[in-house]
Amino acid sequence: MENLKLATLRPDRQKTTFRIGDVTVGKDFIIIAGPCAVESEAQIIASAIDVKEAGGNMLRGGAFKPRTSPYAFQGLGIKGLRLLEKARRETGLPIVTEVIDSRDVSWVCEYVDILQIGARNMQNFSLLKEVGKAGKPVLLKRGMYSTLAEWLNCAEYILAEGNPNVILCERGIRTFETYTRNTLDLSMVPAVKEITHLPIIVDPSHGTGRLSLILPMSLASVAAGADGVIVEVHHNPAEARSDKDQQMPPEMFRKFVVEMRQLQRFMQESGTRP
């Protein structure tokens, strides 16, 4: 692929791996879970405990929410970050949260383990350069109208600033289909692996917007060779302040983790490779 210098697969086919908490990204299959947004102390701590007890590896939760309407809940900002820090102290789970403004990157870094760049900001080049200078791994979501080449060039922006720890995240693209919130393009998982050394995870929560489709598409992500999934979990989805239709309640997430680990184990033990 043209113009990619750092993201392309190396001659020795060595993959990018790095340690966060007790997992190695790019090697272990990681399950990142948590609410769409941090809403209150009770909510994020309960969610973090749910995620930890079920066997999730990291906690997600937005403190800055990029919403379609300016009147919708925009997130708790710094208060949300402090609550995420508290959730990490209580559970030991590393924190993944979105940053939406280049001016916030350096101080947000003090609270989080992975900086998320959302779909709407995938091509915000000043933000990409800023997270490229930050000393934290970056989860780079695919823009909803982006080609693979555009997406990988955005990863290249981060790598070119000296940050080698980029995780790609397929979260669905806009198509003519309206039954699902987006069209989850799982072909990106093997395609990314064919071209780059970067880990790729899948977000079937935003990718489908439907609770009933999250487990099947997550299992398909394992089968396709993904390095992990990021899913939304809320202790009381009906009360959620954003994305209430796609957040799994804790009981559902517990079963989800069991089924995901079972498929992973089956693939490992049987030597099934995508």
What part of residues 80-99 is at the interface with ligand PEP (CB under 6 A)? 98
Handedness of CA 70, 72, 78, 84 (dihedral sign): negative
Q: Following DSSP, what letter does each residue of 204-253 receive, concatenated?
A: HHHHH--HHHHHHHHHHHHHHT-SEEEEEB-SSGGG-SS-GGGPBPHHHH
Selected binder of ligand PEP within 31, 36, 99, 217 (CB under 6 A): 36
Q: How far is CA 138 from the centre of its chain?
A: 9
Between 190 and 249, whose beta carbon lies closer to Mn ion?
A: 249
Burial class of residue 223 (count of CB atoms within 10 Å of its CB; 0-12, 13-18, 19+): middle
Selected binder of Mn ion within 36, 83, 200, 217 (CB under 5 A): 36
Candidates 104-112, 118-126, 160-168, 185-193: pick the segment binding ligand PEP (CB under 6 A).
118-126
Q: Should residue 143 be labelled a site residue for ligand PEP when binding is judged by CB under 6 A?
A: no
Q: Should residue 30 be labelled a site residue for Mn ion when binding is judged by CB under 5 A?
A: no
Q: How far is the CB of 14 from ligand PEP (least distance, A)?
A: 29
- Residue 184: contacted member of ligand PEP, Mn ion, none (CB under 5 to 8 Å, by partner type): none
State both tokens at 193.
């692996």
Selected binder of ligand PEP within 76, 114, 171, 214 (CB under 6 A): 171
Selected binder of ligand PEP within 119, 134, 201, 215 (CB under 6 A): 119
Q: Should residue 141 be labelled a site residue for ligand PEP when binding is judged by CB under 6 A?
A: yes
Candidates 103-111, 116-124, 156-164, 184-192: pick the segment binding ligand PEP (CB under 6 A).
116-124
Q: Following DSSP, what letter does each residue of 40-74 receive, concatenated?
A: -HHHHHHHHHHHHHHT-SEEE-BSS---SSTTS--
Q: Should residue 193 be labelled a site residue for ligand PEP when binding is judged by CB under 6 A?
A: no
Between 219 and 231, whose beta carbon lies closer to ligand PEP?
A: 231
Q: Should residue 104 be labelled a site residue for Mn ion when binding is judged by CB under 5 A?
A: no
Sole residue written with tokens 């086919």:
13
Give residues in contact with Mn ion (CB under 5 A): 36, 243
Give residues in contact with ligand PEP (CB under 6 A): 36, 62, 66, 98, 118-120, 141, 171, 203, 206
